[in-house]
Structure 1
Amino acid sequence: MGGIRVSGILVLCLLVVIGSTDAQLQLGFYTKKCPKAEKIVKNFVEEHIRNAPSLAAALIRMHFHDCFVRGCDASVLVNSTSSNQAEKDAPPNLTLRGFDFIDRIKSLVEAQCPGVVSCADVIALAARDSVVATGGPFWNVPTGRRDGVISRSSEALASIPSPFSNFTTLQTSFANQGLDLKDLVLLSGAHTIGVSHCTSFTNRLYNFTGKGDQDPDLNSQYAANLKAKKCKSLSDNTTIVEMDPGSHRSFDLSYYTLLLKRRGLFQSDSALTKSSTTYNYIKQLLQGSSQNFHAEFAKSMEKMGRVKVKTGSSGQIRKHCAVVNS
Structure 2
Amino acid sequence: MDVVVALSVAFLVFPFPSAAGALSPSYYDDNCPQHKSIVRSAVEKATSNDKTVPSALLRMHFHDCFIRGCDGSVLLDTKGKNRAEKDGPPNISLHAFYVIDNAKKALEAECPGVVSCADILAIAARDAIVVSGGPYWEVPNGRKDGRVSLASDTRQLPAPVSNISQLKQSFGQKGLSAKDLVALSGGHTLGFAHCSSFQNRIHNFNTTHDVDPTMNPSFASGLRSVCPAHNKVRNAGAPLDSSNLIFDNAYYKLLLQGKSMFSSDQALLATPKTKALVSKFANSRKAFERAFVNSMTKMSSLTGGEEIRRDCRVVN
How high is the TM-score relative to the length of structure 1? Answer: 0.86
Q: Supply the distance in 2 between the matched residues of 1:22 and 1:213 (Cα, whole angstroms).
A: 47
Superposed, 1:176-325 pairs within 5 Å as 176-209=173-206, 213-228=210-225, 230-236=226-232, 237-245=234-242, 247-287=243-283, 289-307=284-302, 309-310=303-304, 315-325=306-316
For 1:217-236, what per-residue CA distance to the aligned partner results, in whole angstroms no more than 9, with x for missing partners? 222221112112x2123434
> Which of 111, 129, 132 is residue 131 of structure 1 equivalent to?
129
Calculate the TM-score normalised by the size of structure 2. 0.89
Residue 298 to residue 322, structure 1, CA distance change in 2 (3 Å): same
Q: Distance in 2 between matches of 1:292 and 1:149?
A: 38
Structure-2 residue corresponding to 1:98: 96
Structure 2 unaligned blocks of 5 or more: 1-17
Counterpart-to-counterpart distance in 1, 2:206 and 2:138: 43
Deviations 1:168-208 (A, max 9, x none): 11111111211110001000001111111111111211122
Alpha-carbon distance change, 264 to 23 in structure 1, aligned in 2, over 3 angstroms: closer
Unaligned runs of 5+ in 1: 1-19
| Partner deviation per Cα, 1:5-34 (whole Å, 9 max, x = no partner) | xxxxxxxxxxxxxxx889710012111111
1:34 aligned partner, one-letter code: C
- In 2, Cα distance between equivalents of 1:211 and 1:116: 58
Which of these residues, 138, 157, 167, is aligned with residue 164 of structure 2? 167
In 2: Cα distance, 1:50 partner to 1:135 partner: 14
Percent of aligned pairs with the same amino acid: 44
Rounded to whole Å, the distance in 1 between the matches of 2:116 and 2:21 is: 14
Deviations 1:59-115 (A, max 9, x none): 110000000000000001111222312111111111111111111111111111111
Task: Tell me which of 137, 141, 144 is aligned to 1:143.
Answer: 141
Separation in 1 of the partners of 2:20 and 2:125? 25
Contact 1:199 1:235 in 2 (8 A): no
Tell me the amino acid that sits aligned with residue 132 of structure 1: V
Paired residues, number:
298
Match of 1:82 among 80, 83, 87: 80
- CA separation of 1:104 and 1:261: change in aligned 2, threshold 3 A: same
**Aligned pairs for 1:8-87 within 5 A:** 24-87=22-85
Give the Cα separation in 1 of the matches to 2:66 and 2:221.
34
Aligned AA (2:34): K
Q: Which moved more, 1:22-31 or 1:69-78?
A: 22-31
Partners of 1:50 and 1:294 in 2: CA distance: 24
Amino acid paired to 2:313: A
Contact 2:164 2:270 in 1 (8 A): yes
From the superposition, tell whether residues 317 and 210 of structure 1 become closer, same or farther in structure 2 (CA, over 3 Å): farther
Q: Deviations over 1:246-298 (max 9, x none)?
A: x21222221111111111101110010011110011122233x3222212211
Alpha-carbon separation, structure 2, partners of 1:94 and 1:240:
15
Q: Distance in 2 between matches of 1:145 and 1:64?
A: 15
Partners of 1:252 and 1:137 lie apart in 2 by 10
Deviation >6 Å, runs of 4+: 20-23
Contact 1:139 1:301 in 2 (8 A): no
Residues 231 and 109 of structure 1: is their aligned pair in 2 closer, same or farther, counting only changes over 3 Å? Answer: same
Higher Cα Rg, which structure: 1
8 Å contact kept, 2:190–2:247: yes
Letter in 2 for 1:169: Q
Q: Distance in 2 between matches of 1:52 and 1:174?
A: 31
Q: Classify the secondary structure of the residue corresponding to 1:241.
A: strand
